[in-house]
Amino acid sequence: MIRVLALFVLALALSACGLQPMYAGGASGQVAQGLAAVEVAPIEGKAGWLMQNALNDRLGVAGNPAPRYRLDIRLDDRLEGLGVLSDDTVGRERRILRARYQLVDLASGEILLDKTSGSDAGIDVVSSEYATIAAEDRALENLTQDVAGRIVSEVALALREPR
């Protein structure tokens, strides 16, 4: 009897905490519908192409005929040498990807979200130039996926708020 009462009290406490699932309603829910209505503006460069594809994959906007929002993104992609060896060559690099993004309501032109997100990765510089370039490219691919995930999470939070 005490266990049943404890479970009942616990269930009431959890329902009163104010937490709600973000993607309630599945594909027909408010957040999913909002994310599907986001158009990603073209982004320059290889990092921009990777970022745009990663965002489109996460947003589910392939071929959305009537976007309601536009996501404008400016990327800053840098490689920095970190470890200098005794022969004055770089032994380690850091790839840094930062994104400044704005979510714009197309109907009113209002900026609903204006944020910055970023990530970085360490890369070993090896004797093979090909291997180093491949590692730099793979780091960029991973960073765009990471930053795209962060951006979509922030956009989902912004679209969850009632307007």
Q: What is the pLDDT of residues 84-142, one digit of tens each?
A: 777 767 788 899 999 999 999 999 999 999 999 999 999 888 888 899 899 999 999 99
Q: Where are the domains of the chain?
A: 27-160
Q: What is the DSSP letter of 158?
A: H
Q: How is 44-86 classified by DSSP, letter by letter?
A: -HHHHHHHHHHHHHHHT-TT-SS-SEEEEEEEEEEEEEEEEPT
Assign domain 27-160 one CATH number from 3.30.160.150, 3.90.1300.10, 3.40.109.10, 1.10.10.10.
3.30.160.150
Q: What is the pLDDT of residues 33-91, one digit of tens each?
A: 778 888 999 999 999 999 999 999 988 765 566 888 999 999 999 998 887 777 767 78
Question: Is the pTM above the cut of 0.85?
Answer: no
Tell me phi and psi for residue 108, to 5 degrees. -105, -15
- Residue found by looking up tokens 């599945």 in the block: 26
CA neighbor of 155 nearest in space, from 81, 91, 86, 61 = 61
